[in-house]
Amino acid sequence: MTKQLTFKSLAWALVAGLTISIGACKKETTTPAETPKTLNKTTLTNNKTWYNQGGTISHPFKAGGVYGVDGSWRWVNNSDTMEIDDDGNNVFLKWKFYYNTDTEMKCKWINNNQDIDFKSTPW
């Protein structure tokens, strides 16, 4: 009886030890953290056109402060706000930019308190 009890105790100890060992060897699965979205002024305005959903608004930025064909753009005091003259008539609309990636950006026209998503291709 003592041998059976000792054998059972040893067997249970081995099972418990293996269970703990196997559990410790499991590879931890974590989802990678999302890359923070930041405003990159260079890639935002480097000869790129941005489209809102439905294409009712587009921002055709060209290098050197050119906007579309006759317009212009400029940063206000090196901030996240830009003045855009869309047709060269010297009437500037202010836009606040939140972030951009290679394919998307978010901004709002200061006079309209609504954030607008834009993409680098029509959608």
- Predicted local confidence at residue 80, as pLDDT: 97
Strand partners, 94: 83
Residue bearing the bigger pLDDT, 14 or 63: 63
Q: 26: pLDDT confidence band, cut at 50, 70 and 90?
A: low
**Interval 88-100: pLDDT, tens:** 999 999 999 999 9
Structure tokens at 120: 């680098």
Domain ranges of the chain: 41-119
Query: Tokens 């609504």 identify what position?
Result: 114
- Predicted local confidence at residue 36, as pLDDT: 80
**Rounded to 5 degrees, what are φ and ψ at 68?**
65, -135
**Interval 48-94: pLDDT, tens:** 999 999 989 999 999 899 999 999 999 999 999 999 999 999 999 99
> What is each CA distance from 80 to 51, 76, 106, in whole angstroms?
19, 8, 11
| Average pLDDT for the chain | 84
Q: Give CA 16 to chain center in angstroms.
A: 46
